[in-house]
């Protein structure tokens, strides 16, 4: 029965969405992720003023008994300064709702550090994944399209890069990029630092994608519809734009959603080493690593490790559940085995 | 069999040399001065003398000198750990990391493969859903979090194991389990998806139709094939685990190899960077080669290709 290609596409899209919806874990991940994203974006106008406000009178002491609440007066002052809320009733409500997470060794409200930290981690993860996707798919597609000796050399380079220890490469990339980029951004240490982080993480995460994209493009080139288009006189560029790229988009999207949590994890690892996001800017990894250090020094500040780590783990799990669901939805082959 | 093996060996050596060249170029290009890391800076004349002593004033000479030494397993001096040669550092740290790493990989296979098989055999049951969720949590959990949690539970709250250090058998369980968690997750995931593929194939249906018990079909007929992707993952995983994890070593105070990867890079310690990279690459390349040979032996259809 002949069907036009658009019909097929719509049918496909519907069945993909229904497959995704059938995966309860993936839907839960999507819901959690969207709510996290909404919360951190909506609260950004407040948290951006509040995340670094210190009240040293209420900083955690060496022997804490219970985690101290954020002092209302300091909180209210900062809110008034930010000129976003001028109604005391609302600010008292926000204070009551947010002080349960306690605050850190400089008396900064942990709640108001975790919210922008989550957004920053997501941005770092997203940008690093973008860098990895651009690098990896360009590399893989170029290798597959040029073919022959160029292909062999390009893929051997990927093999060689695979056999470098990954941790060392990230650190060396970070160190190598720091000087040129810092001078480029002179005076703006924070954006330079973030860009360096994103480039360093992205530039080590593209290898697998290059292999995946190359394999996909190679198999697509031999598909009858591509050969038919070629026989009709389509140019390579036309083939790439109209036939190859739309069909490789699926695996790329799948891989990208799985690179984001990996990149966030890597940023947390770099923060653990002390070369991630620099103080006072919070990222989830930075907060978790700080918490781990505080707990190692004086056991007892449980909230410094419990809340940032929970935020990090919940975000990563939501992303991973979602990515898994997207992969299953786009690649139904993996879930067609009969039950025993 | 012999000719492809020889070709693979040549390719392995070529890769190794290219890895060395790339590392050398990175080490030379990356800013940072191993001689001026401590707070007490040395006079510039002393630094020049030291650079001349180690042929570091001439990159080309240093390139050949280090390569010549590395062939004889002499990696030269470390520039940050005074009085230590890189060979001494590696030969002291590698056995410790290797012990933890091998145990962690063994543990990961013993736990991850059965979990994956059960998960695939009972697809969509509550058991499968909880195993898949557990796997995703394992992938999402940073090692420094799981390590600290384990430490808090088993060394502080319920002190049955030492809080850190190295030397007795009691120091082993916590680092091994912490290191194995992400590997368990990946192995379980690989086994599950490979099992799902295999369970859909004709020979499984035939075996079931002939009356072989489902139990036997799953654990012998299917697992034999489904284990192959896990096997190819074990090459890079073992190389990574055996060369140590910075986080695990820092959390549990283990004097292993992982810290040297990080510290060498942070201190721009040229000799130590190249030694650690070479150790890792040799392990990775030859483990991969060994696994490919094993693969070709287990599944003769595949054979050894370059």
pLDDT in tens, B122-157: 888 899 889 988 888 888 888 888 888 888 888 877
**Confidence at residue B280, expressed as pLDDT on a 0 to 100 scale:** 92
In whole angstroms, give the CA distance from residue B19 to residue A226.
38
Backbone angles phi, psi at A103, to 5 degrees: -145, 175
Report CA-CA distances (Å) from A218 to A214, A248, B144: 6, 11, 40
In whole angstroms, give the CA distance from residue B263 to residue A168.
9
**Confidence at residue A107, expressed as pLDDT on a 0 to 100 scale:** 66
**What residues pair up with B70 in beta bridges, in sequence order?**
none
In whole angstroms, give the CA distance from residue B80 to residue B272.
9
Per-residue pLDDT tens digits for B99-130: 999 999 999 999 999 999 999 988 888 998 89
Best A160, A261, A295 member to test B by mutation, with max B CBs in 10 Å, is: A160
**Confidence at residue A3, expressed as pLDDT on a 0 to 100 scale:** 39
In whole angstroms, give the CA distance from residue B246 to residue B260.
8
Query: Nearest C-alpha of chain B: how many angstroms from A84?
Result: 36
**Is B282 within a domain?**
no
**Confidence at residue B298, expressed as pLDDT on a 0 to 100 scale:** 79
* Nearest residue to B121 via CA among B60, B20, B208: B208
User: Buried b / exposed e across A274-300, counting CB within 10 Å, b at 16+?
Assistant: ebbbeeebbbbbbbbbbbbebbeeeeb
CB A247, CB A253: distance < 8 Å: no
**Confidence at residue B169, expressed as pLDDT on a 0 to 100 scale:** 83
| B196 to A337: CB separation less than 8 angstroms, yes or no | yes
| B148 to A305: CB separation less than 8 angstroms, yes or no | yes
In whole angstroms, give the CA distance from residue B69 to residue B83.
18
| A163 to B285: CB separation less than 8 angstroms, yes or no | yes
Per-residue pLDDT tens digits for A150-170: 988 898 888 888 888 877 888
| B261 to A312: CB separation less than 8 angstroms, yes or no | no
Tell me the whole-structure pTM to 2 decimals: 0.82
Residues 6 or more apart whose Cβ sits within 8 Å of residue B221? B203, B204, B207, B212
A67: pLDDT strictly greater than 70: no
3-state secondary structure of B73: coil
DSSP state of B34: G
| B196 to A335: CB separation less than 8 angstroms, yes or no | yes
CB A213, CB A251: distance < 8 Å: yes
In whole angstroms, give the CA distance from residue A252 to residue A212.
8
* Nearest residue to A32 via CA among A253, A261, A254, A202: A261
pLDDT, greater one: A64 or A330: A330
Q: What is the DSSP string of B245-292?
A: -HHHHHHHT---SHHHHHHHHHHT-HHHHHHHHHHHHHHHHHHHHHHH
Other beta carbons within 10 angstroms of residue A73's beta carbon come to 10
Average pLDDT, chain A: 76
**Confidence at residue A174, expressed as pLDDT on a 0 to 100 scale:** 81
**Is B234 within a domain?**
yes
* Nearest residue to A208 via CA among A254, A269, A270: A254
Q: Quote the Cα angle for A13-A16-A22, to 5°.
A: 140
pLDDT, greater one: B256 or B60: B256
Does the CB of A339 have a partner CB in chain B at under 8 Å?
A: yes
Per-residue pLDDT tens digits for B77-100: 777 777 788 888 888 889 999 999
Per-residue pLDDT tens digits for A245-279: 888 887 788 788 888 888 888 888 888 887 888 77
Q: Quote the Cα angle for A84-A85-A88, to 5°.
A: 160
Which residues of chain A from 243 to 282 reach within 8 Å of chain B, CB to CB? 261, 265, 268-269, 272-273, 275
CB B264, CB B32: distance < 8 Å: no
Average pLDDT, chain B: 84
Backbone angles phi, psi at B75, to 5 degrees: -90, 10
| B30 to A162: CB separation less than 8 angstroms, yes or no | no
**Is B115 within a domain?**
yes
A95: pLDDT strictly greater than 90: no
Best B12, B25, B127, B144 member to test A by mutation, with max A CBs in 10 Å, is: B144
What is the percentage of chain A residues whose pLDDT exceeds 90?
8
Count of pairs with CB atoms under 8 A, one residue in A, one in B = 143
Report CA-CA distances (Å) from A97 to A84, A92, A171, B213: 17, 9, 40, 58
Choosing among 3.30.70.20, 1.10.240.10, 1.10.3720.10, 1.20.210.10, the CATH entry for A15-330 is: 1.10.3720.10
Provide the CATH number for the domain around residue B176: 1.10.3720.10
Integer-rounded Cα radius of gyration of chain A = 24
Report CA-CA distances (Å) from A201 to A98, B265, B273: 33, 16, 19
Domain boundaries, position B104? 98-256
Query: Nearest C-alpha of chain A: how many angstroms from B156?
Result: 9
| A334 to B277: CB separation less than 8 angstroms, yes or no | no
| Longest CA–CA separation in chain A, Å | 78
B166: pLDDT strictly greater than 70: yes
- Residue B82 structure tokens: 């005074």
B199: pLDDT strictly greater than 90: no
pLDDT, greater one: B239 or A97: B239
CB B282, CB B1: distance < 8 Å: no
Mean pLDDT of A105-125: 83
* Nearest residue to A260 via CA among A40, A29, A35: A29
B59: pLDDT strictly greater than 80: no
**Confidence at residue A334, expressed as pLDDT on a 0 to 100 scale:** 46
Does the CB of A154 have a partner CB in chain B at under 8 Å?
A: no
The region of weakest confidence among B47-61, B169-183, B289-303 is B47-61
Instruction: Provide the ipTM.
Output: 0.79
pLDDT, greater one: A24 or A202: A202
Task: Identify the top-confidence range among A48-57, B176-185, B286-295.
Answer: B176-185
- Give the position of tokens 């790439």: A240
**Is B66 within a domain?**
no
| A164 to B281: CB separation less than 8 angstroms, yes or no | yes
Q: Is the bond into A251 cis (omega within 30 degrees of 0)?
A: no
Query: Roughly how many angstroms between the first and final C-alpha of chain A, as a whole number?
Result: 34
Query: Nearest C-alpha of chain B: how many angstroms from A312?
Result: 8
- Residue A313 structure tokens: 């783990």
Best B21, B145, B195, B240 member to test A by mutation, with max A CBs in 10 Å, is: B145
B268: pLDDT strictly greater than 90: no
3-state secondary structure of B54: coil
Task: Quote the number of domains for chain B.
Answer: 1
CB A235, CB A159: distance < 8 Å: no
In whole angstroms, give the CA distance from residue A254 to residue B131.
22
Query: Nearest C-alpha of chain B: how many angstroms from A11?
Result: 25
Query: Nearest C-alpha of chain A: how many angstroms from B4?
Result: 17
pLDDT band at B34 (very low <50, low <70, confident <90, very high): low
pLDDT band at A8 (very low <50, low <70, confident <90, very high): very low
**Is B220 within a domain?**
yes
* Nearest residue to A141 via CA among A241, A38, A21: A241
Q: A312 contacts in B (CB within 8 Å)?
A: 142, 145
* Nearest residue to A198 via CA among A165, A227, A170, A161: A170
Mean pLDDT of A177-202: 80
pLDDT, greater one: A18 or B306: A18
């Amino acid at each position: 029965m002949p069907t036009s290609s658009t019909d097929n596409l719509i049918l496909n899209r519907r069945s993909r969405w229904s497959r995704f919806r059938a995966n309860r874990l993936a839907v839960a991940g999507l819901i959690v992720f969207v709510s996290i994203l909404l919360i951190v974006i909506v609260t950004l106008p407040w948290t951006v003023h509040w995340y670094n406000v210190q009240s040293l009178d209420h900083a955690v002491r060496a022997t804490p008994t219970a985690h101290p609440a954020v002092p209302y007066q300091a909180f209210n002052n900062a809110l008034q300064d930010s000129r976003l809320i001028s109604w005391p009733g609302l600010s008292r409500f926000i204070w009551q709702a947010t002080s349960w997470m306690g605050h850190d060794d400089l008396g900064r409200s942990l709640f108001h550090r975790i919210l922008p930290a989550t957004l920053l981690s997501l941005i770092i993860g997203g940008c690093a994944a973008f860098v990895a996707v651009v690098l990896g798919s360009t590399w893989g597609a170029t290798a597959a399209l040029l073919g022959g000796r160029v292909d062999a050399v390009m893929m051997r380079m990927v093999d060689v890069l695979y056999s470098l220890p990954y941790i060392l490469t990230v650190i060396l990339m970070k160190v190598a990029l720091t000087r040129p980029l810092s001078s480029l951004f002179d005076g703006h240490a924070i954006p330079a630092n973030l860009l360096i982080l994103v480039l360093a993480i992205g530039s080590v995460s593209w290898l697998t994608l290059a292999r995946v994209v190359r394999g996909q493009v190679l198999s697509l080139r031999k598909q009858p519809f591509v050969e038919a288009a070629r026989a009709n006189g389509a140019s390579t560029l036309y083939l790439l734009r109209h036939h190859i790229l739309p069909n490789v988009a699926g695996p790329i999207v799948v891989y990208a959603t799985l690179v984001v949590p990996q990149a966030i994890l890597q940023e947390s690892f770099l923060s653990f080493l002390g070369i991630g996001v620099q103080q006072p800017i919070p990222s989830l990894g930075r907060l978790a690593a700080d918490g781990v250090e505080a707990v190692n020094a004086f056991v007892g500040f449980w909230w410094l490790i419990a809340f940032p780590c929970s935020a990090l783990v919940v975000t990563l799990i939501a992303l991973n559940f979602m990515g898994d669901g997207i992969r299953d939805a786009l690649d139904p082959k993996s879930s067609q085995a009969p039950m025993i | 069999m012999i000719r492809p093996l020889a070709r693979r060996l040549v390719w392995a050596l070529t890769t190794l040399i290219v890895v060395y060249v790339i590392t050398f170029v990175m080490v030379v290009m990356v800013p940072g001065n191993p001689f001026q890391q401590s707070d007490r800076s040395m006079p510039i004349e002393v630094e020049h003398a030291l650079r001349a002593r180690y042929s570091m004033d001439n990159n080309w000479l240093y390139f050949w000198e280090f390569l010549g030494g590395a062939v004889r397993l002499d990696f030269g001096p470390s520039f940050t750990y005074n009085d230590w040669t890189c060979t001494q550092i590696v030969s002291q740290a590698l056995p410790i990391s290797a012990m933890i790493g091998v145990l962690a990989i063994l543990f990961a296979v013993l736990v991850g493969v059965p979990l994956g098989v059960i998960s695939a055999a009972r697809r969509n049951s509550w058991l499968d859903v909880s195993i898949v969720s557990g796997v995703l949590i394992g992938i999402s959990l940073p090692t420094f979090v799981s390590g600290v949690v384990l430490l808090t539970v088993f060394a502080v709250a319920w002190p049955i194991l030492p809080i850190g250090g190295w030397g007795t058998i009691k120091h082993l369980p916590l680092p091994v389990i912490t290191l194995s968690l992400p590997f368990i997750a990946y192995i379980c995931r690989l086994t599950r998806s490979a099992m799902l593929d295999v369970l859909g194939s004709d020979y499984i249906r035939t075996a079931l139709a002939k009356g072989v018990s489902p139990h036997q079909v799953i654990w012998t007929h299917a697992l034999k094939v489904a284990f192959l992707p896990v096997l190819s993952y074990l090459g890079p995983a073992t190389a990574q685990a055996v060369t140590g994890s910075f986080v695990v070593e820092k959390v549990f105070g283990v004097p292993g190899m992982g810290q040297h990867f990080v510290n060498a890079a942070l201190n721009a310690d040229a000799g130590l960077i190249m030694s650690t990279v070479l150790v890792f690459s040799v392990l990775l390349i030859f483990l991969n080669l060994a696994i490919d040979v094993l693969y070709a032996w287990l599944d003769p259809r595949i054979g050894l290709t370059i």
